């Protein structure tokens, strides 16, 4: 059994972390209770070709093992209001789910009626179902799906809308971000949206330990911007090229900044286990 007890700034910053899985990757873990602290929030990513039954089965398993479960609801793969209602009902009735991450999703064009997380929220179905927590996506380096010409205009307007919604809903809310590699990029973004009146708590996305080639591949696919220089500079250093990347530097920098600037609106860390679930969980437990 993993020992999760050690006290320092980094450990405090990581404490209460969440982690993301896919049904396929989750099926390879014999027991999540052996690698994660009790009540860890586990997100279940929903890819475009994933069947809802596999998602719900994974959610049920994780709930039964004693974890908080937060499935993705990608707007662009949901056909219509009936399908959305069915998914919500399945998650609730079969797996006891009461949390959701609402996002547009990776498809360039929607397959049905929904194009954005705002439309999912406006459906009123999550409120009607009594979901206790709703998370939304954040993009510290912008998102070209939302702002095709670069910049952050549309992203900022969407966050402002969701800020107003957060005042009307009884559900707790948070912004779960895409992963980044540069603490300065994260801090500047967090400070900027706060000046714009966005005070929804931030759960900062962090890539777990992985091979450098793996991280570069996923970063290109996910549109990671300026902070990717951390990886490309690392790739130029032959002494580090073959060593697995670990998120020590960015998390130490963020933890140190948070201690000296407690107003920083980052509440939790969310791990993307790009190098494997066990690797990310073990790394977090060892800090």
Q: Render pLDDT for 93-137 as a digit per residue (tens, 0 to 9).
A: 999 999 999 999 988 899 999 999 999 999 999 999 999 999 999
Task: Note the pLDDT tens digit of each residue in 216-258.
Answer: 877 776 666 655 666 776 665 555 656 688 999 999 999 999 9
Both tokens of 261, joined, read 């600037």
Percent of the residues in the chain that have a pLDDT greater than 90, as a whole number: 75
Determine if the pTM surpasses 0.85.
Answer: yes
* pLDDT the model gives residue 150: 64
Report the pLDDT averaged over residues 23-45.
Answer: 97
Both tokens of 183, joined, read 């603490």
* pLDDT the model gives residue 108: 86
Show the domains of the chain with their CATH numbers: 9-286 (3.20.20.220)
pLDDT band per the 50, 70, 90 thresholds, residue 271: very high
Write the CA distances from 93 to 43, 84, 85, 118, 231, integer angstroms: 18, 14, 12, 25, 43
């Amino acid at each position: 059994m993993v020992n999760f007890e050690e006290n320092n700034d980094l450990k405090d910053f990581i404490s209460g972390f969440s982690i993301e899985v896919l049904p396929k990757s989750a099926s390879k873990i014999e027991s999540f209770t052996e690698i994660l602290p009790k009540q860890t929030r586990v997100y279940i990513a929903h890819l475009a070709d994933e069947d809802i039954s596999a998602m719900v089965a994974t959610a049920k398993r994780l709930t039964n093992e004693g974890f908080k479960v937060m499935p993705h609801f990608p707007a662009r793969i949901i056909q219509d209001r009936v399908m959305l209602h069915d998914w919500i009902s399945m998650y609730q009735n079969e797996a006891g789910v009461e949390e959701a991450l609402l996002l547009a999703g990776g498809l360039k064009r929607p397959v049905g009626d929904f194009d954005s997380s705002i439309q999912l929220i406006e459906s009123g179905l999550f409120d009607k179902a009594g979901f206790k927590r709703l998370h939304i996506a954040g993009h510290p380096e912008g998102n070209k799906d939302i702002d095709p010409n670069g910049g952050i205009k549309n992203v900022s307007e969407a966050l402002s809308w969701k800020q107003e919604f957060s005042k009307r809903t009884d559900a707790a809310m948070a912004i779960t971000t895409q992963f980044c590699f540069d603490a300065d990029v994260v801090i500047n973004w967090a400070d900027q949206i706060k000046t714009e009146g966005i005070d929804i708590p931030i759960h900062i996305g962090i890539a777990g330990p992985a091979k450098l080639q793996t991280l570069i591949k996923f970063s290109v696919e996910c549109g990671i911007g300026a902070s990717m220089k951390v990886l490309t500079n690392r790739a130029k250093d032959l002494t580090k090229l073959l060593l697995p990347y670990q998120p020590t530097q960015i998390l130490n920098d963020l933890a140190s900044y948070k201690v000296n600037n407690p107003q920083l609106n980052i509440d939790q860390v969310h791990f993307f286990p790009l190098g494997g679930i066990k690797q990310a969980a073990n790394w977090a437990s060892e800090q």
